[in-house]
Amino acid sequence: MSSARTEFFGGVRAELPLLLGVVPFGLIFGVLGLAAGLPGWAVVLSSSLVFGGSSQIVFAQLFGGGAPAPVIVTTVGVVNLRHALYSAAVATYLKALPWRWKLLLAYLLTDEAFAAAIGRLREGPATPARHWFLFGTGFTLWAGWQLSTLAGVLLGVAIPAGWSLDFSVALTFIALLVLGVHRRSDAWAALAAAATALLSLGLPHKLGLLLAAAVGVAVGLLLRRFDKVAA
């Protein structure tokens, strides 16, 4: 039992530095959700129901733009599709666990929780309590995200619209994009998607977003073979 506790608090400690980036993001999301036209309760509720920062911002944005429900749900799914990679990466280490653990850890499996725990899972000792480490990172992130969203909603009421704070969403995406681009083909995928999104602005129901994502992925896959020459 004490090794479970050690693992859990090890996870909490590994996650704490990441909260430095997550808490301001939660604050911004709280403010922005309101600015996009979501009621305060919906902004707070989305943090526990969806629990995925960028996808929640996309949700608020599409809702504010009047997109229909099927488009919103599909887009949120596409934005969170990368989590399937995390799921595949941690699956080996959770194989022997009972279902309640699998369900709980799947719910908590976000970018930051995964990033802080995968090193311990891959390289640390294969003890029967090691999933508590992932629970520690996931729970810490979850708590930080809920509290910062709530604080953002309370703050958002006080921030004037003239500050163009909605632009910080685009800036968040720009930062995530730059941090995630490691090869030329990544950059080309983003550029192709951006160009397609602009050319298809006239499509109804924000469908251009999904079309652009598909074109971006296709261009990235096509140009991948040139990466090695460049590197």
CB-nearer residue toward other proteins: 5 or 65: 65
- Burial label, 17 (beta-carbon count in 10 A; 0-12, 13-18, 19+): exposed
Q: In this complex, which beta carbon is closest to other proteins, that of residue 147 or of residue 187?
A: 187
CB of 178 to other proteins, least distance (A): 4
Residue 2 CB, nearest approach to other proteins (Å): 26
In this structure, are residues 189 and 222 in contact, taking their beta carbons and an 8 Å threshold?
no
Alpha carbons 162 and 164: distance in angstroms, whole number: 5
> Distance between CA 148 and CA 13 in Å, rounded?
18
Q: Give 5 or 177: the residue with its C-beta nearer to other proteins.
A: 177
CB of 100 to other proteins, least distance (A): 12
Name the residue nearer to other proteins (CB basis): 124 or 208. 208
To the nearest whole angstrom, how small is the minimum distance from the Cβ of residue 157 to other proteins?
A: 19
Least distance in Å: CB of 14 to other proteins? 19
**Concatenated DSSP letters of 89-136:** HHHHHHTTS-HHHHHHHHHT--HHHHHHHHHHHHHS---TTTHHHHHH
110 versus 140: smaller Cβ distance to other proteins: 110
Amino acid residing at 105: L
Q: Left if phi > 0, otherwise alpha if psi is -120 to 50, otherwise beta: which for 37?
A: left
